[in-house]
Amino acid sequence: MKNFESKENRESRAGEQVENNNAQCPMTAVAPLGETPRPHCLPDAPCPIPKTQLFLYLIPVIGFFPSLWTLYRGQASREQLAVSRLSITLALTWLLGYLLLSTGATTSDFFSLRLFILNSFLTSGYFIVSVWLILRLMQGKSGRLPGFSTLAERVFSKYLS
């Protein structure tokens, strides 16, 4: 029957289909026929988030910079902001611990080997936690850590929001 419908009916049905597809994201603009729709999502809108962007935030050391940029702009979904805060908190905690342990290892004669070993455990733990969070996001689970996520929300929501 679709082949025998008039052109106007097919165009109106195509418009309805575009509107139904955009029901997931309420702020998505419905483009006129012949143009591609451009999504404009608010931070609270339930728009689909590309997981690769969240994975990028959680890459150890490197993910710090896109996370910082996302928080600086402030135009992201809640999940993106939460993962960015967590990534920055993990990176800064690791950096602070790394610097303190390496400084202590260089100034101490007796504990230097032990502090270097602790430093390697801290670095390994940071990388393992980051990979674990990426795997959790791949499975569709939450990307939160109980202590760090709460700390990140307190600190960064106060200063960056």
User: Are residues 106 and 55 part of one domain?
Assistant: yes
User: Are residues 87 and 146 part of one domain?
Assistant: yes
Instruction: List the domain range (segments joined by +) for residue 66.
Output: 49-160
Cα 8 to Cα 14: distance, rounded to the nearest angstrom: 10
Q: Are 84 and 160 in contact (CB under 8 A)?
A: no
| 20 class by beta-carbon count within 10 Å (0-12 exposed, 13-18 middle, 19+ buried) | exposed
User: Are residues 103 and 149 part of one domain?
Assistant: yes
User: Are residues 60 and 37 part of one domain?
Assistant: no
User: Are residues 133 and 72 part of one domain?
Assistant: yes
Last residue of a domain, one of 28, 43, 58: 43
Q: Domains in the chain: how many in total?
A: 2
Of 44, 47, 81, 46, residue with least CA distance to 66:
81
Q: Are 104 and 97 in contact (CB under 8 A)?
A: no
Amino acid 3: pLDDT = 52
Q: What token pair was written down for 34?
A: 């012949």
pLDDT band (50, 70, 90) for residue 144: confident
User: In this predicted model, what pLDDT tens digit does every residue of 66-108 receive, in sequence order?
Assistant: 999 988 887 888 888 888 888 999 999 999 999 999 999 999 8
Task: Tell me the pTM.
Answer: 0.65
User: Are residues 110 and 68 part of one domain?
Assistant: yes
User: Are residues 21 and 55 part of one domain?
Assistant: no
Cα 69–Cα 72–Cα 77 angle in degrees, nearest 5: 85
User: Are residues 64 and 130 part of one domain?
Assistant: yes
User: Are residues 131 and 67 part of one domain?
Assistant: yes
pLDDT band (50, 70, 90) for residue 133: very high
User: Are residues 98 and 138 part of one domain?
Assistant: yes
Q: Span 124-150, mean pLDDT?
A: 89
User: In this predicted model, what pLDDT tens digit does every residue of 34-73 receive, in sequence order?
Assistant: 444 445 555 555 555 677 888 889 999 999 999 999 888 8
